[in-house]
């Protein structure tokens, strides 16, 4: 499959990625354990939380495709690992971050897929993702002009302003000035 970046994969500052890879025999059992650990063991998320440019990411297993009727659908030769995500930044930056920040997680997840070269060195990993990537037919973003970090910062500013409003209404001018300067100091990293 030749990779062609389609316009449908980009909405404002956000980019979507969709990857479908065939899983090795026994891989679904291992992935079940990895997914359980990711949901239930907090320490497994620490490094991922540093990747604030990720809006959303999800892995799931597909064993059959629907057939359009109410039937069971088409059973596949392999179970497939379906990955979808959206993020700020370039495609290369996203894959680089996975390779550098969470290589053990990438090995645990995609290591169950046929042909996975490992997360390092990054170039074979990128080639693997490109071979298995599908361009989105449709992609929508609620806040296309903003990054995840900008949205979180705006929420912090809004909450701080709301609290300030409640407490500042009856203040004398000098106390108001002190409270306002304190507010600005508190939210300066979010402005």
- Mean pLDDT, rounded, of the chain: 85
What are the distances in angstroms from CA 183 to CA 150, 151, 169, 189?
18, 19, 14, 11
Q: Is the pLDDT of residue 184 over 80?
A: yes
> In the sheet where 14-22 sits, what is the strand order?
10-11, 14-22, 74-88, 54-65
Q: Is the pLDDT of residue 76 over 80?
A: no
Contact 103, 120 (CB under 8 A): yes
Q: What percent of the chain has pLDDT over 90?
A: 46
Give Dmax over CA atoms of the chain in angstroms.
Answer: 74
Residue 6 has a pLDDT of 45
Residue 71 has a pLDDT of 64
Residue range 75-87: average pLDDT? 88
Contact 109, 37 (CB under 8 A): no
pLDDT level of residue 107 (50, 70, 90 thresholds): very high
Contact 87, 14 (CB under 8 A): yes
Across 21-35, 43-57, 92-106, 124-138, least confident range: 43-57
Burial of 102 (0-12, 13-18, 19+ CB in 10 A): buried
pTM, entire model: 0.73
């Amino acid at each position: 499959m030749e990779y062609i970046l389609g316009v449908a994969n980009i909405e404002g500052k956000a980019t979507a990625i969709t990857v479908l890879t065939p899983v090795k025999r026994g891989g679904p059992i291992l992935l079940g354990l990895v997914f359980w650990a990711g949901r239930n063991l907090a320490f497994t998320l620490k490094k991922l939380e540093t990747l604030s440019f990720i809006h959303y990411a999800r892995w799931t297993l597909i064993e059959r495709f629907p057939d359009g009727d109410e039937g069971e659908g088409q059973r596949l030769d392999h179970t497939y690992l379906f990955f979808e995500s959206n993020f700020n930044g370039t495609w290369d930056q996203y894959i680089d971050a996975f390779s550098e920040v969470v290589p053990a997680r990438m090995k645990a997840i995609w290591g169950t897929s046929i042909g996975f070269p490992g997360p390092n060195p990054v170039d074979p990993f990128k080639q693997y993702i490109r071979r298995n990537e599908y361009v989105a037919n449709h992609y929508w973003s609620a806040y296309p002009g903003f990054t995840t970090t900008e949205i979180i910062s705006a929420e912090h500013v809004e909450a701080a302003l709301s609290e300030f409003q409640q407490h500042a209404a009856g203040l004398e001018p000098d106390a108001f000035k002190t409270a306002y300067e304190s507010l600005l100091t508190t939210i300066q990293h979010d402005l």
